[in-house]
Structure 1
Amino acid sequence: MKRKGNWLLLAPIYLFTILFVALPILYMFLLSFLSRAEVWGVDFTFTLDNYKRILEPLYLNTFVESLKLAFLSTGLIVLIGYPYGYFMARMNAVWKKRMMLLLMIPFWTSALIRLYGWIIVFRSNGVLDKVLMGLHITDEPLKLLYTYPAVVVGMIYALLPFMILSVYSSAEKLDFTLVEAARDLGASSFRAFWTVSFKLTLPGLLSGVVLSFIPSMGLFFIADILGGNKIVLVGSMIQEQATKGRNLPFAAALAAVLMILTSLMIRLYRRITGAEQLEGLL
């Protein structure tokens, strides 16, 4: 009777996973092996042409550029987010709440509205130009909007909170008396941080890397708004093929390859964190 009750509690989870996760993924993979109909829809003919087409220079370069942008934005997010999350965990309870509130307030507004706010900042004679010219750093307006740096800033702005919260949740559990013990035993500040604090907060850092790197491959609306369609990501390509090109099988193939890449990233993360945990036990 108890097992039956447990099964009934788990049934909604399994049902949700099958209907909204497993079946859509299966449908996407099946669709990627079909052909595009001449007018509209799908021709139920098995083919590998969709995956062969990805190897063409145009689409392959889009994957490469998306990976470059993902690595660059994730690296900058690590440099900014790790110190922020680590030192936030060391603050007293009052300041922790204040800093957490600062992170949460932007989420009360739509992401699109927040990105349009960056247009006001980056546009010619915008807020940034007026500040720079007021400080006599520049003599004329800069053309920052619809450029690669503007897209990178947008990626950092959108994904930075995930890194900060991941590092914070890991650093908050850290016993800082271990760092003090390392200092008492003669370790320098840097050595104590590297051998104790960094290793113990590494799982949180890697979680933040995964949460930052994977979405940055597909956040095409950031590239569209701040890049002015000059920066094309894999997500932009999938959306264009599914809507304007009306080539659903090829869009599914692009999405399948993107999902495989992100799955490999998650697999690498699990292996690294698993190795760290095993090393800790030994």
Structure 2
Amino acid sequence: MNKRFSLHKIENEFDCPFDETGYSRFKFGDTYYAKSFAKELFDGFIKEFGKEILAQNEIILFPSPYNSIPTASNFLCSYFKEHLNYFLFENNRAGCIEGKIHRQQTYVQDYGNMSFEERITLISNDTYYIDKSFVDGKFCIFIDDIKITGSHEKTVDRILKEYNVNGEFIFVYFAELINNEIHPKIENHYNYYRIKTTQDLIEVMNSEHFRFNTRITKFILLMEDSDFEQIYQNISEQRREEMLHWAISNNYHQVEEYQKNIIKLKDKIQWQLTYKKDKDKTLTLQNSQSV
């Protein structure tokens, strides 16, 4: 039987138990909040499961399933791992390791607005893979940022059963919706609480703590021309190249809805590189002639 832990309980849609601004920025790549939330989550978790953790020989942490681009929960999981490993070190135990459920993502719809049934239908079309030989018989902690309908947990549970994986499993959440009267679309209220405009995104992307995740990458690739251009013109060359790299690595160039902006991004980057090379050649020539 699976065990569960959630740090914050959502009982009232008008009374959020966590920092909504921080959570929204976290969902769009601000790892400052991933680090802060991971510390909160670990402190709450270890109070309840500390003795059980110390009784284990091998522990594997899993973020939510992903392909190449990390999810926001991947960063939450990584920082959680740091705290857990230090706790294990202080108690003379072997450190935990981070596992992965591989996912071939196939949809572009906004998951946060969907009901439980819609979510299950959507993600049931995805392809998942887990290395049974690596996981079987281990103590596994599955970390996610928020539990709204439980579709993520249901999907992971299905994957474990399909691969006939045995072990002890704990599902750990930063927050959990426990009031069934609240519509699941409240998830998007939290997701977009602080991200209302293109300028809000630019502010996050120019932060030193920013890292690309699936949400912000997909969001930008679905933008209209004017918004996409605004993003491009107001982020660094490094960010532009990172975005193209991540998009290609996740095979987004094979998803029709993303293709236009990926091609535009590629063309702009190539043009910029060509322009810089030509400019450098001209400057070199001018300098040589002036000698």
Specify which structure has the higher proportion of helix.
1
Higher Cα Rg, which structure: 1
Give the alignment's TM-score, normalised by structure 2: 0.22
Give the alignment's TM-score, normalised by structure 1: 0.23
